[in-house]
Chain A
Amino acid sequence: MPRYHSILQDIRPLTPGILGLVVVRQDGQSYPQFLPGQYATLSFPSHSRIKGERSFSIASSAADLTKLEFGIRIGGRYTTALRQLRPGDRVEAAGPFGQFTFEPFRDQSAVFIAGGIGITPFMSMVQTATDIGLRNSLRLVYSVRSLADAAYVDVLNDLSRRNPNLGVTYVVGDRRVPPGTSNIRPGFVTADIFSAAIGKNPWGHSYFLCGPPAFMNVVTKQLQSFGLPKTAVRTERFAVASSALIEPGSWLPKLTIASWGLATVALVGFFAVREKDRRDELSAAPPTTIINRNANAAGNTNTAFLETPVPIVNTAPNPPTPPAVNTNTTTPIVNTTTTPVRTTPAPTIYQPPPMRYVPQPRTTVS
């Protein structure tokens, strides 16, 4: 997987707890085309305290490949250290990765449900759709603890003005709703809020969900209470076989299995665990769930999310299956006998190429 030598162009707080980064390529070229919703892995070689690489959703528009923007929740040691970054710092970017993607022809009517930092992939989706003039119906439900925690509000307001097909509803946990606002609801994501966003018929929409695990579990159950199967809701899970794909021409979801097979999944998972352990030792970062892009993966097990706001500890998305790196540090055994002893090299970690969606032609009424 190619890595792009990049430069940090801008760093600024988007909210008290969210840091915004903008990176550009060092050679001035554009980044490769990515699909809205995908992520990239970043590392920062200029800083000895920011060790290793992490994955972050690309928050910028896929129609502008001159830069990549990210929104990062500050919480753990790694993300807190990002505050040291300054414009001009070197960044190594790799990607794009991921299948949590918005596809214009498939997702004619899309419902995006974001909890906290889970807003970032949806920012790329709505910006891209607006920039390229898509007429897809887009409904964004953005749940935050308070309005002060809501990132990209100005950007979303601007997009709503430019795109008549985009509707944004904020849901604020602290129930402090400014007077005179029609798109801010107090409390938490409920069936009423969904109905207001999508109408009475939940079918015929593509659902996307991203946020802390507890938030996602509760919202998934809510959507199931409408009669929607779990497979109708796209969430970012372990890469291979769990993303539901909807093929053109059918608005019922279909589960597709990647061609690697489940055996390869298990093998990759095994080596991913080994690599994770090695990286944990190097970076001393708090342990995180492997390859799960739920925004808050740092052991938040609060299931009473609907009732009580939960402090988000570390919402940085976790690294993907790491690239192939041979970490074998075993030195050959020096044998005093005449028979040389060979050591078995540690197996390398297989990094499959990211799956790319290639759209099919479609004739439409004009």
Chain B
Amino acid sequence: MTPIHQHFPALGTTVEGVLHSSDALSMQQVWDKVRRLVNAFERRFSRFQPSSELSLLNGQAGRPITVSAEMLELFLAARRAWDRTEHLVDPTIGAAIISAGYDVTFDRVPVETVSIQAPETNAQPRPSLSMINIDPIVSTVTMPAGVSIDMGGLGKGFLLDAVARTIEEVTNDFWVSLGGDVCVSGTDGGRPWRIGVQDPAALERDWATLTVPTGRWAIATSGTTKRKGVRHGRRWHHIIDPRTGRPALTDLVAVTVVADSGLMADALAKAILIRGSREGLTWLQRQHQVEAIVITDRHDLLTTSGARPWLTLL
């Protein structure tokens, strides 16, 4: 079995993977399929592309809109993540992101200089996924006025799962990364996969590796150090707390979650980060098939009991 490395630019980052196989042609074909899948996803779900299905949906408030099967599937996945995180991961924060200054793709936002506008005080209730009517029978979505959707947080994990299922058609030994959300499966030539964990304080290096057991695992890291700024002397970042509509006040700078799906790894990493170290880890211990490692703003390292043996500090 030969490891075959592939990569291409997409989603404002790099899609990359290593597939173990003795059939190079099949690997190339499946990677072409992955590329088409990712490009189609971007065309359909990017809120930064005016012609995307998501942008068109965001512009149609108050009436049922028939959506594609893929959009419906993503909405249903978003609702599962919203339920599991007890409503902390909510795709209706789109308006809050825009008011925070992220009205262009993150690629072009300088991390030091963006300043958020003052949140508008008004009597309208804060948007929530509960306000959106999703009808899977007739494939329609109805959004109230003033609510817009941003699938960025959940979309990457959702797409990672779709990519992994595609690759599994030809091999069970691989890893694939969508901009740092990683799925590993099987083994690395007979050895367990070792995943590097980026240091949130020094993004050019890793601070640890995770050696996960054989199986399929998704690993996602949420943090507050990559996109951030200062306003009125307060440090802020891009992880929005749906309860307030503002950047989450948390003592955590990075959360790495290992879960059985990319969707949940992504969602749970954000949920723990929003909750903070004490509440987040206590809450997580009640979840199944999930492990996590967190770093606090005092540089404390905390892990769930299952993650400890996987961790190697560098």
Residues of A within 8 A of B209 (CB): 249
How many B residues touch the partner, as a band? 35 or more
Q: Is the interface of B mostly helix, strand, loop or mixed?
A: strand
**A 337-361 to B, binary, CB cutoff 8 A, 1 in contact else 0:** 0000000000000000000101111
Tell me, yes or no, whether A104 is within 8 Å of chain B by CB: yes
Binds B, one of A86-94, A126-134, A291-299: A126-134
**Cβ-defined contact, B182 with A362, below 8 A:** yes
Pick from A248, A251, A366: contact of B180, CB below 8 A: A366
**Cβ-defined contact, B14 with A365, below 8 A:** no
Within 8 A of A (CB), among B1-54: 3, 5-9, 12-14, 16, 18
**Cβ-defined contact, B18 with A358, below 8 A:** yes
Tell me, yes or no, whether A33 is within 8 Å of chain B by CB: yes
Residues of B within 8 A of A108 (CB): 203-205
The smallest C-beta distance from B27 to any residue of chain A, in angstroms, reads 11
Residues of A within 8 A of B175 (CB): 360-361
**Cβ-defined contact, A361 with B193, below 8 A:** yes
Tell me, yes or no, whether B221 is within 8 Å of chain A by CB: yes
The smallest C-beta distance from A359 to any residue of chain B, in angstroms, reads 6
Residues of A within 8 A of B256 (CB): 363
The smallest C-beta distance from A274 to any residue of chain B, in angstroms, reads 32
Tell me, yes or no, whether A242 is within 8 Å of chain B by CB: no
| In the complex, number of A-B residue pairs with CB atoms less than 8 Å apart | 104
**Cβ-defined contact, A366 with B5, below 8 A:** no
Residues of B within 8 A of A248 (CB): 196, 206
Residues of B within 8 A of A204 (CB): 204-205
Within 8 A of B (CB), among A97-124: 104-105, 108-109
Pick from B6, B198, B219: contact of A365, CB below 8 A: B198
Given the interface contacts A104-B14, A132-B7, does A366 sit within 8 Å of B181 by beta carbon?
A: yes
The smallest C-beta distance from A201 to any residue of chain B, in angstroms, reads 12
Tell me, yes or no, whether B314 is within 8 Å of chain A by CB: yes
Residues of A within 8 A of B254 (CB): 365
Tell me, yes or no, whether A336 is within 8 Å of chain B by CB: no
**Cβ-defined contact, A363 with B180, below 8 A:** yes
The smallest C-beta distance from B172 to any residue of chain A, in angstroms, reads 15
Pick from A132, A358, A362: contact of B5, CB below 8 A: A358
**Cβ-defined contact, B9 with A364, below 8 A:** no
**Cβ-defined contact, A133 with B14, below 8 A:** yes
Given the interface contacts A108-B204, A359-B18, does A249 sit within 8 Å of B196 by beta carbon?
A: yes
Residues of B within 8 A of A134 (CB): 14
Residues of A within 8 A of B220 (CB): 363, 366
Q: Which of A109, A250, A359, A361 has the most CB of B within 10 A?
A: A361
**Cβ-defined contact, B5 with A359, below 8 A:** yes
Between A and B, 17 residue pairs with Cβ closer than 8 Å are A63-B9, A108-B203, A132-B7, A134-B14, A248-B206, A251-B205, A358-B5, A361-B175, A361-B184, A362-B196, A362-B206, A363-B196, A363-B198, A363-B256, A365-B180, A365-B222, A366-B226
Residues of A within 8 A of B (CB): 33, 63, 104-105, 108-109, 131-134, 204, 248-251, 356, 358-366
Residues of B within 8 A of A (CB): 3, 5-9, 12-14, 16, 18, 156, 175, 177, 179-182, 184, 188, 193-198, 200, 203-210, 219-223, 225-226, 254, 256, 314
Beyond A361-B175, A361-B184, A363-B198, 9 additional contacts (C-beta under 8 Å) are A33-B6, A204-B204, A249-B207, A360-B188, A360-B194, A363-B256, A364-B203, A366-B156, A366-B220
